[in-house]
Amino acid sequence: MPARHMALTADLVALVHRQVEDPGPLPDVGYQTDGDYDSMVDGLLHALPEQEDAWLFAFGSLIWKPECEFAEERCGTAHGWHRSFCFRIRRHRGTPECPGLMMSLDRGGQCTGMLYRLPRRALREQLHKLCRREITIKPPNTVPRWINVASDGISMRAIAFVMNRESKAYVGTLAPEEIAEVLSSACGHWGSGAEYLFHTVSRLEEHGIHDRYLWRLQELVAQRIAAGR
């Protein structure tokens, strides 16, 4: 199949970028403690037989910025979950004045992403690192849990960070046009929403994974940036 050419380019993404200082912890939210992270990791390990390696299901930034050591990678499809820009953020890739949107796994549908095998050795440290990266506030926007993922006809259990619908930041299903409006303008000290979308779609395509939802979003975001958003 011929390579698809994205409408959203690095040059367009650069037009959205701006220098933003980290405002630091937001005053109106609570943050996870060392004990909270210990409980998360203990819960995940408790469900894994001793000596077994763990599999991690990556669907977004963990594909292009995994920040964890893995011994094997393969494609996999999670049934009962789908990618969705479904919660608002006021830090990292947004600000209190111009909130962004972040993607998570929400219930329903299916999602094809990458599976990474995490060796048992140093697994606790790896999971701590992942949980601290993916989860900062409480109640959390996303939570780690074991899900079933199909890969090469085999059903596997893998850890995924999925949406917590009880989070105050959860916005449910938004129209693609509304999401594109946000991603074409929001930026924080980690970068812009457009950059996040660009890297995610680019890396998925490199792995031969075509997500129609994200593909449509990158087209809409590109149109808005090019029009002067």
pLDDT tens track for 148-198: 999 999 999 999 999 999 999 999 999 999 999 999 999 999 999 999 999
Catalytic residue among 72, 134, 178, 219: 134
Report the pLDDT value the prediction gives residue 2, as an integer from 0 to 100. Answer: 52
Report the pLDDT value the prediction gives residue 104, as an integer from 0 to 100. Answer: 98
Q: Which two tokens stand for residue 42?
A: 């203990």
Amino acid at 135: I
Q: Is this structure's pTM higher than 0.85?
A: yes
Report the pLDDT value the prediction gives residue 23, as an integer from 0 to 100. Answer: 84
Q: Length of the chain, please?
A: 229
* pLDDT for 61 beyond 60: yes
Report the pLDDT value the prediction gives residue 229, as an integer from 0 to 100. Answer: 55
Q: 89: closest CA among 161, 175, 187?
A: 187
**134 given a catalytic annotation:** yes
Q: Please give the mean pLDDT across all residues of the chain.
A: 95
Alpha-carbon distance of 88 to 100, in angstroms, equals 6
* pLDDT for 1 beyond 70: no
User: Which tens digit of pLDDT belongs to each residue from 109-131?
Assistant: 999 999 999 999 999 999 999 99
State mean pLDDT over 25-51: 95
Amino acid at 18: R
Is the CA virtual torsion 27, 170, 204, 122 positive or negative?
positive
Domain 10-17+26-226 has CATH 3.40.50.10490: no
* pLDDT for 212 beyond 80: yes
